[in-house]
Amino acid sequence: MTGPAERLELLTRAGCHLCVTAAETLGRIAAEAGVGTREVDVDADPELQAEYGDRVPVVLLDGREHSYFTVDVPRLRRDLGIG
């Protein structure tokens, strides 16, 4: 049995306090929407590090950038069909 589809990705890095807050928020919204999430450390991938630099956290919805620095909760809820 597989879990919910991982529609949400959170690009993070170690020591990022905004990333911790974004992960908590994203987890709540994902649970409500019944979708999966995964966190990706931008520093583990040179391409991601070059693209996003210090602009983390970044929320990706279905592989496309949705918001950065903070989770745009009203927009994300709307785009997931729960708001």
User: For residue range 10-40, what is the model confidence (pLDDT) as tens digits?
Assistant: 999 999 999 999 999 999 999 999 999 999 9
Question: 8-80 domain in CATH 3.30.70.790?
Answer: no
Q: Which pTM does this prediction carry?
A: 0.90
- 68 bridge partner residues: 58
| Cα gap 67→72, rounded to integer Å | 6
- Identify the sign of the CA torsion 64, 73, 78, 23: positive
E-assigned strand segments in 1-83: 6-12, 36-41, 58-61, 64-68
| pLDDT for 81 | 94
Which 3 state secondary structure label does DSSP give 71?
Answer: coil
